[in-house]
Amino acid sequence: DAGVIQSPRHEVTEMGQEVTLRCKPISGHNSLFWYRQTMMRGLELLIYFNNNVPIDDSGMPEDRFSAKMPNASFSTLKIQPSEPRDSAVYFCASSLLAGGGDTQYFGPGTRLTVL
């Protein structure tokens, strides 16, 4: 299995530009999670999906952030417009059990730099 796949691995953009991060979960997994990691705030859950349905988006910092999961094998996290404070590593993770209590497997992350 290829594991969780994220693209791009690195993204450098200018303030105000739209950024789209992509994630392909492990085949067969039915839960998908988006995290943001910074030195100051640690590892924060932004949103998660069970069976392609958003369950909890309380961690999404503001309306500039949006996430979609159009099918079981693909999800996007979009930031529009981007700001320098959005610079962070964004991880996608997936797990098999939608009911919780199961291992989350993380992707390699996308390092986002907003200038």
Partner 1 sequence: GENVEQHPSTLSVQEGDSAVIKCTYSDSASNYFPWYKQELGKRPQLIIDIRSNVGEKKDQRIAVTLNKTAKHFSLHITETQPEDSAVYFCAASKGGGTASKLTFGTGTRLQVTL
Residues that bind partner 1 (CB under 8 A): 31, 33, 42-43, 45, 48, 50, 55-56, 91, 95, 97-109
81/104 with CB nearer partner 1: 104
Distance in Å, CB of 27 to partner 1, minimum: 18
Distance in Å, CB of 95 to partner 1, minimum: 7
DSSP bridge pairs for 105:
94
Distance in Å, CB of 28 to partner 1, minimum: 16
Distance CA 7, CA 33 (A): 15
Q: What are residue 86's phi and psi, to 5 degrees?
A: -80, -10
9/85 with CB nearer partner 1: 9
Q: What are residue 38's phi and psi, to 5 degrees?
A: -135, 160
64/111 with CB nearer partner 1: 111
31/75 with CB nearer partner 1: 31
Distance in Å, CB of 101 to partner 1, minimum: 3
Q: Both tokens of residue 36?
A: 């943001």
H helical segments located in the chain:
none
Contact 75, 34 (CB under 8 A): yes
> What one-character DSSP code corresponds to residue 52?
T
